[in-house]
Structure 1
Amino acid sequence: MATVDLEKVLDKAWADKDLPEILQAPVSALKGVSDRDGDLLREAFGVRTVADLADLKYVRWAQALAALAPAAK
């Protein structure tokens, strides 16, 4: 299983939180995602939390396509 350096993917305020709390955090808890980005994700896709973003079908589809890419070469 891959490990994730939480300090690289989360804003400082969230890096020391436990996983259940992070998953329920607003998407702006992710490093590089602004409050405005979070507002736009909510408006466009109903995404409110990190868990919502992870479960967004478009994200899952894009990840599946990216995983297939090496086999297509």
Structure 2
Amino acid sequence: MTSMDLTKVLDKAWADKPLADVLGAPVAALKGVSDRDGELLKEAFGVETVADLADLKYVRWAQALAALAAVK
């Protein structure tokens, strides 16, 4: 299994937290996602946590499309 440097994807306050805590964290725990972005995601899609964002069907669809495009 490949390790991931969580400091590259999480704000400093969340980088040393257990993954279970990160999944329950607000989406603003992700580096580059502001509190306002989190509010807009909640308003538009009901996304409140990192886990909610990961489970969002539009995110999964976009990931699937990108994976299909990568297979040539």
User: TM-score, length-normalised on structure 1?
Assistant: 0.94
Letter in 1 for 2:59: V
- Tell me what 1:46 maps to: 46
CA distance in 2, matches of 1:29, 1:54: 13
Report the aligned-residue RMSD.
Answer: 0.9
Q: State the identity as a percent.
A: 79
CA distance in 2, matches of 1:46, 1:39: 9
User: Once the 2 structures are TM-superposed, how far is the Cα of residue 24 of structure 1 from its aligned partner?
Assistant: 0.1
- Tell me what 1:66 maps to: 66
User: Once the 2 structures are TM-superposed, how far is the Cα of residue 34 of structure 1 from its aligned partner?
Assistant: 0.1
- Structure 2: where are the runs of 5+ without partners? none
Q: State yes or no: 1:20 paired with 2:10.
A: no
User: TM-score, length-normalised on structure 2?
Assistant: 0.95
Over 3 Å off, 4+ runs: none
The alignment of Structure 1 onto Structure 2 pairs a total of residues equal to 72
1:17-67 CA distances to partner (integer Å, 9 max, x unpaired)? 000000000000000000000000000000000000000000000000000
CA distance in 2, matches of 1:34, 1:68: 30
